[in-house]
Chains A and B, each alone.
Chain A
Amino acid sequence: MQNKIYHLTPEGLKKYKEEYKRLNGILKESRSKIKEIRDELWRPEDLNSDYEPMESELISVETRIKELENILKNTKTIKKSKQTKPKIVTVGTTVVVEADGQIDEFTIVDTLEANPSMGKISNESPVGKALLGCKKSEVIVVHSAIKATYKIIKIKYA
Chain B
Amino acid sequence: MPKKDDELKKLANFFINVGELKNKKRKGWELRDVKNPETIAAHSFRMAIMAWVLGEKRKLNTNRVLKMSLIHDVCEVYAGDTTPYDKMLPKNKKKLRGLLDKWPRLSKKEKEKNFREKYKKEKKALQKITSGLSPNLKKEINNLWDDYEKGLTREGRFVRQLDRLENLLQALEYWEKGEKFMIEPWWIQIKELIDDPILLEFMNVLDKKFHKGKK
CB distance from B85 to the nearest CB of A (A): 13
Binary interface encoding of chain A residues 105-119 relative to chain B, with 1 for a CB under 8 A from any of its CBs, else 0: 111000110111111
CB within 8 Å of B: which A94-128 residues: 94, 99-107, 111-112, 114-119, 121-128
Query: Across the interface, do A117 and B108 meet the contact criterion of CB distance under 8 Å?
Result: no
Query: Across the interface, do B194 and A50 meet the contact criterion of CB distance under 8 Å?
Result: no
Interface residue tally for chain A (C-beta within 8 Å): 40
Interface residue tally for chain B (C-beta within 8 Å): 41
Query: Across the interface, do A67 and B153 meet the contact criterion of CB distance under 8 Å?
Result: yes
Query: Across the interface, do A126 and B191 meet the contact criterion of CB distance under 8 Å?
Result: yes
- Provide the residues of chain B in CB contact with A128, threshold 8 Å: 192, 195
Query: Across the interface, do A67 and B154 meet the contact criterion of CB distance under 8 Å?
Result: yes
B interface majority secondary structure:
helix
Q: Is B198 an interface residue (CB 8 A)?
A: no
A interface majority secondary structure:
mixed
**Considering the chains assembled together, what is the distance between the CA atoms of A38 and B187 in angstroms?**
53
Residues of B that sit less than 8 Å from A by CB: 61, 64, 102-103, 105-108, 111-112, 114-115, 118, 134-137, 140, 150-151, 153-154, 157, 183-184, 187-189, 191-195, 200, 204, 207, 210-211, 213-215
Residues of A that sit less than 8 Å from B by CB: 49-50, 53-54, 57, 60, 63-64, 67, 94, 99-107, 111-112, 114-119, 121-128, 142, 144-146, 148
